Chains A and B, each alone.
Chain A
Amino acid sequence: KAGVTQTPRYLIKTRGQQVTLSCSPISGHRSVSWYQQTPGQGLQFLFEYFSETQRNKGNFPGRFSGRQFSNSRSEMNVSTLELGDSALYLCASSALTPWNEQFFGPGTRLTVL
C-alpha cells in the first residue's frame, strides 16, 4: 500500500502571499489530520477532516483553513503568510477507530521570506 503523500515537498513564499498544500491519504483511510511542526512550538494540531467535514480544529488563526474531497484527499491553505508560518506541515491519515495510529506523510517544508 502506498503511504501518505504530500505535495509539494518544499515551498518558498513571501509575506502576504497565500499557499495551498496537498495531501493524499493511504487508500481506504478517510480521516486526515494536519499538524504544524516548528522548533519553538513543536508539533501542533491544525485540524482534522473526515468525510469532507472538519471534525476538529486546533488553536490557529482563521488564516489557516482546509478542506477534504470526496476521494479523501485534503488540502490546507494559509492566506496572508507571515514569517512565523515557516514550518514543516505534516499530514496524517488513519482508519476511523480511536485506537488506530496515524500514518504521517513526509511533510511540506514552507519557508516564508
Chain B
Amino acid sequence: AQSVAQPEDQVNVAEGNPLTVKCTYSVSGNPYLFWYVQYPNRGLQFLLKYITGDNLVKGSYGFEAEFNKSQTSFHLKKPSALVSDSALYFCAVRDSPSGGYNKLIFGAGTRLAVHP
C-alpha cells in the first residue's frame, strides 16, 4: 500500500535561515508526489509536485523539493524562511492507478514555525 511519512511534528527555524521539511514515501511503481500548505482555518494550497524528470522541483512562494529515489524521500526546502511561511505542511502521494487517480495519501503534517 502507498504511504507517506513526515517524521517531524514541528520544525522551528529562524527567519532568513534555510528550512527543510522532511517526507519519505513508500509506493509500488512510479511515485506522483505533492506538497501542500495549510494556513489556519483554510483549505490546502498546492505548492509543488514531482511526476517525472528533474529531481529538483520548483514551486510556489520560493519553495522547492528534492526527489531522491534511492532514499525514497521528497523533502521540501526553501533557501530563506519568512515568518509568513509559518503553517502546516503536508506531503502526499497519489494512490496507485487501481486506487483511483485522485485519491491522495497524506502524511500526518509538519508544523513549521518561523521565528523573527
Contacts and interface: CB of A to CB of B under 8 A. Distances in A.
Interface in B26-60: 32, 34, 36, 41-46, 49, 51
Contacts of B84: none
Interface of A is mostly: strand
B84 to A, nearest CB: 19
Contact of B44 (A55, A96, A99, A104): A104
Interface residues of A, number: 29
A98 interface: yes
B63 to A, nearest CB: 14
Interface residues of B, number: 26
Contacts of B103: 33, 45, 48, 56, 58
A27 interface: no
B22 interface: no
B46 A103 contact: yes
Nearest to A105: B43
